[in-house]
């Protein structure tokens, strides 16, 4: 059976180098090595170093490996929030983080935007009691990208709060100024094109200090994956538990490939492919980009209103070897979502557009 092209917004098509790295990993018997061995420390160090370079991480930032970005939501609240967090909610994932804070017994407050848009920072008075402010840079459910210049206003306006950025489905294509935030996180099945099962958590010294302060107050900050335990492990290029060694290996390799290719080039390509998609949907007689504000359109998750044609369009594309995502939550039957990740070639995006163009409703 011919392989399909997956444009689903994560999991999605694997990065084009992953199969080769997987073969090498088996040849090197990576799945068999001990996570307390020198070889594992080298793998950890390679992944860490490549990610540091790729993201231009400042010196006061660190990173840790978790099982998912969902896990980071829980760990962030446990380690960095004693009582109250504040969430910019504009889709299902930002909403879920808000809910998790509540499930963990914190007071969670939010500014909720209409689906397909975001709430400008200046329009909200965030309570001074908010210890953490969460912004979703790229809402995978709606395709809204929170503009970078908006996010960058937060730190100056709320210097006592930790600024947390969800860039799960845009990193490293999105350009984040780490000096304007305190923590960010991603999962590897999006732009890195790996199989799902690993999250990466970037955090700075302020987050560490917060976790220490909460712990010394007697607050439970978790156990094996408290930020302090993760950090302590990371200093030794180790993890507290037996981790997903294989995927850490693969992530290091793919991050290395992206460095070789050049992040600038990856970003220019993403921009080009996004323009192809948005321009196409803008000019389509039946379909339209869901996000009306062109300045808030995600470059990596393109959401189109496809209304009553949605199911037929998805089926039509599937029979032609292309899998796009359905809409999320309330838009399941009226949107399609198209991933524009680094592994999706210009040619594949053009093929997708050309194929949609032959769709007769």
Binding site for its own copies (CB under 8 A): 3-4, 6, 8, 10-14, 18-19, 22, 26, 29-35, 67-68, 70-71, 73-74, 77, 99-100, 103-105, 187, 189, 194-198, 220, 222-226, 240-247, 323, 325
Q: Where are the alpha helices (DSSP H) in 135-262?
A: 148-157, 205-216, 227-235, 245-261
State the nearest-atom distance from the C-beta of 232 to its own copies, in Å. 13
Let me know: does 304 contact 278? Beta carbons within 8 Å. no
State the nearest-atom distance from the C-beta of 99 to its own copies, in Å. 8
299/337 with CB nearer its own copies = 337
State the nearest-atom distance from the C-beta of 97 to its own copies, in Å. 10
197/307 with CB nearer its own copies = 197
6/331 with CB nearer its own copies = 6
26/312 with CB nearer its own copies = 26
State the nearest-atom distance from the C-beta of 288 to its own copies, in Å. 24
State the nearest-atom distance from the C-beta of 323 to its own copies, in Å. 8
118/342 with CB nearer its own copies = 342
10/91 with CB nearer its own copies = 10
H or E element in which residue 43 lies: helix 38-55
Q: Which of 130, 69, 119, 132 is nearest to 90 (CA)?
A: 119
Angstrom distance (rounded) from CA 243 to CA 74? 18
State the nearest-atom distance from the C-beta of 329 to its own copies, in Å. 11
158-162 CB contacts, 8 Å cutoff, 24+ apart = 158/126, 158/130, 158/133, 160/128, 160/131, 161/86, 161/126, 161/130, 161/131, 161/132, 161/133, 162/80, 162/131, 162/132, 162/133, 162/206, 162/207, 162/210
């Amino acid at each position: 059976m011919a392989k399909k092209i997956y444009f689903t917004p994560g999991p999605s098509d694997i990065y084009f180098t992953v199969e080769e790295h997987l073969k090498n990993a088996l040849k090197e018997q990576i799945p068999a090595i001990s996570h307390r061995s020198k070889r594992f420390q080298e793998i950890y160090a390679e992944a860490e170093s490549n990610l540091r370079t790729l993201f231009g991480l400042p010196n006061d930032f660190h990173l840790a490996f978790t099982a998912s970005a969902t896990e980071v939501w829980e760990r962030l609240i446990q380690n960095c929030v004693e009582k109250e967090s504040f969430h910019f909610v504009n889709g299902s994932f930002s909403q879920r983080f808000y809910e998790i804070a509540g499930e963990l017994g914190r007071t969670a407050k939010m500014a909720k935007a209409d689906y397909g848009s975001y709430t400008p920072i200046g329009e909200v008075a965030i309570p001074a009691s908010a210890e953490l402010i969460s912004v979703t840079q790229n809402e995978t459910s709606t395709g809204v990208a929170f503009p970078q210049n908006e996010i960058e206003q937060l730190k100056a306006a709320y210097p006592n709060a930790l600024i947390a950025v969800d860039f799960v489905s845009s990193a490293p294509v999105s350009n984040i100024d780490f000096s304007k935030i305190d923590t960010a996180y991603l999962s590897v099945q999006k732009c890195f094109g790996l199989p799902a099962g690993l999250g990466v958590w970037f955090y700075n010294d302020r987050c560490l200090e917060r976790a220490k302060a909460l712990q010394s107050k007697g607050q439970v900050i978790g156990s094996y994956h408290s930020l302090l335990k993760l950090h302590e492990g990371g200093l030794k290029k180790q993890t507290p538990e037996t981790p997903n060694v294989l995927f850490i290996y693969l992530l290091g390799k793919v991050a290395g490939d992206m460095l070789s290719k050049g992040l600038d080039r990856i970003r220019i390509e993403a921009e080009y492919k996004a323009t192809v998609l948005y321009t196409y949907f803008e000019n389509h007689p039946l379909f339209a980009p869901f996000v009306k504000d062109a300045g808030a359109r995600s470059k990596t998750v393109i959401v189109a209103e496809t209304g009553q044609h949605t199911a037929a369009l998805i089926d039509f594309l599937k029979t032609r070897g292309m899998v796009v995502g359905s809409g999320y939550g309330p838009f399941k039957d009226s949107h399609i979502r198209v991933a524009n990740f680094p592994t999706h070639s210009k040619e594949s995006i053009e093929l997708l557009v050309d194929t949609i163009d032959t769709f007769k409703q």
